[in-house]
């Protein structure tokens, strides 16, 4: 067999210069984005003296674990991480279940009342009942205070995310559904066996949106959760930061050779603890992220 030759397009010097400039701009933008986080991580391992003397650094001269010792010494942070992981996982599953099951019928052109129900969803993006009525409904009417359901049910469906899923479903060829019906599939089987397997990009993207929202859940957790054993990590870290200034060197805790951690280092360490776990999810959905959001946003 004859080998096929790949034609190489020869770029002009002007095109090459423009390409180099574009790469430099993108590299500088990426660097400016990453540098603050690197500084936060480095500062969380720094000593009080170094944080005072150096305005900015990427590698600490002396590595100190005192800030992390202070955060994890009581075990509240570990319990908060466990609660946050549980709330994020279960909450994301609840969100995706309700969002997908609502998005599918609204994406079908033969569904009666489709326009009315879609408009009702859009109205909730523009108007809300307000904080006080929502609290009364969740705490006094539904009696969900001090339960994780208070963090899951009020936001079971995010209208924006649901519409993204709906637009993605709507962009699928109707011939797929017709072929499934010819093979004897009902609506549920078509949805589970045909639609969902072909919707991995948008499902992964929207799942990430929901997961980040649950992980960063702070205000709702502060309003509805008073049981210390059910506190999420955001509430625990907030309390740790407030208590840092009240801790003295006479607290009876062995801080090691570097002494009690500075307040600034504790704040940086809490940022790392609250951010790194959710960042670990992104590499697994990165390949679906752009495709899912773009297709779901422009179809329909």
pLDDT average, residue stretch 133-153? 89
Nearest alpha carbon to residue 159 among 209, 110, 109, 91: 209
**Phi, psi torsion values for 25, nearest 5 degrees:** -65, -45
CB 82 within 8 A of CB 277: no
DSSP structural state of residue 8? P
Nearest alpha carbon to residue 161 among 121, 198, 116, 129: 121
Distances (CA, A) of 227 to 142, 238, 261: 18, 15, 28
pLDDT at 86 over 90: yes
d(CA 167, CA 232): 33
Share of the chain above pLDDT 70, in %: 85
Distances (CA, A) of 252 to 255, 256, 261: 9, 12, 14
pLDDT of the residue at 239:
82
**Taking the model in full, what pTM does it have?**
0.78
Over the stretch 174-212, which tens digit does the pLDDT of each residue have? 888 888 888 888 888 888 888 888 888 888 889 888 998
pLDDT of the residue at 266:
83
pLDDT average, residue stretch 157-169? 90
Over the stretch 262-274, which tens digit does the pLDDT of each residue have? 677 888 888 888 8
**Sign of the alpha-carbon torsion through 119, 122, 126, 130:** positive
- What stretch of H or E contains 26? helix 13-44
């Amino acid at each position: 067999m004859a080998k096929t030759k790949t034609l190489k397009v020869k770029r002009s010097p002007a095109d090459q210069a423009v390409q180099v400039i574009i790469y430099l701009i993108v590299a500088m933008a990426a660097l400016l984005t990453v540098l603050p986080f690197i500084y936060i991580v480095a500062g969380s391992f720094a000593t009080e003296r170094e944080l005072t003397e150096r305005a900015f650094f990427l590698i600490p001269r002396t590595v100190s674990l005192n800030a992390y010792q202070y955060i994890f010494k009581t075990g509240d942070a570990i319990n908060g991480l466990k609660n946050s992981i549980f709330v994020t996982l279960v909450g994301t599953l609840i969100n995706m279940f309700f969002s997908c099951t609502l998005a599918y019928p609204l994406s079908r052109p033969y569904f009666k009342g489709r326009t009315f129900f879609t408009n009702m969803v859009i109205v909730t993006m523009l108007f809300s009942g307000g904080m006080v009525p929502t609290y009364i409904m969740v705490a006094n009417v539904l009696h969900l205070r001090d339960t994780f359901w208070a963090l899951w049910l009020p936001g079971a469906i995010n209208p924006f995310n649901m519409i993204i899923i709906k637009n993605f479903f709507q962009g699928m060829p109707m011939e797929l559904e017709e072929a499934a019906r010819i093979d004897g599939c009902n609506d549920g089987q078509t949805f589970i066996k045909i639609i969902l397997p072909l919707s991995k990009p948008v499902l992964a993207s929207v799942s990430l949106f929901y997961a980040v929202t649950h992980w960063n859940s702070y205000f709702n957790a502060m309003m509805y959760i008073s049981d210390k054993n059910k506190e999420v990590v955001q509430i625990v870290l907030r309390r740790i930061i407030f208590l840092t200034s009240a801790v003295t060197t006479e607290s009876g805790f062995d801080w090691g050779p570097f002494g009690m951690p500075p307040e600034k280092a504790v704040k940086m360490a809490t940022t790392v603890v609250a951010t790194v776990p959710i960042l670990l999810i992104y590499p697994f959905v990165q390949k679906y992220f752009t495709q899912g959001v773009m297709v779901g946003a422009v179809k329909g």
